Amino acid sequence: MRQDKFTQRAQEALVEAQSQAEAYNHAQIEPEHLLLALLQQPEGVVPQIVLGLGTNPQQLVAQA
């Protein structure tokens, strides 16, 4: 996978997802790690979508 073809924000999300996987002692990045990383991007589209659905993204992060 060529990460240099991703946007800056996508690259940051992948790095954060890897950190999340390592924090949980997981050997690989799973979708939940990526979701957690995307939820933590304050200017990202995922928190906006979650807010639009009536849920606070930070509450989801806290429950992880």
pLDDT tens string 8-62: 999 999 999 999 999 999 999 999 999 999 999 989 999 999 999 999 999 999 9
Which domains, and CATH codes, for the chain? 3-63 (1.10.1780.10)
- Reading the block at residue 32, the tokens are 């939940």
Dist CA 2 CA 50 (whole Å): 28
Q: Are 29 and 21 in contact (CB under 8 A)?
A: yes
Angle at 28 between CA 26 and CA 29, to 5 degrees: 100
Q: Which helix (H) or strand (E) holds 56?
A: none
Q: pTM of this prediction? A: 0.86
In this model, does residue 1 exceed pLDDT 80? no
Q: What is the pLDDT of residue 44?
A: 93
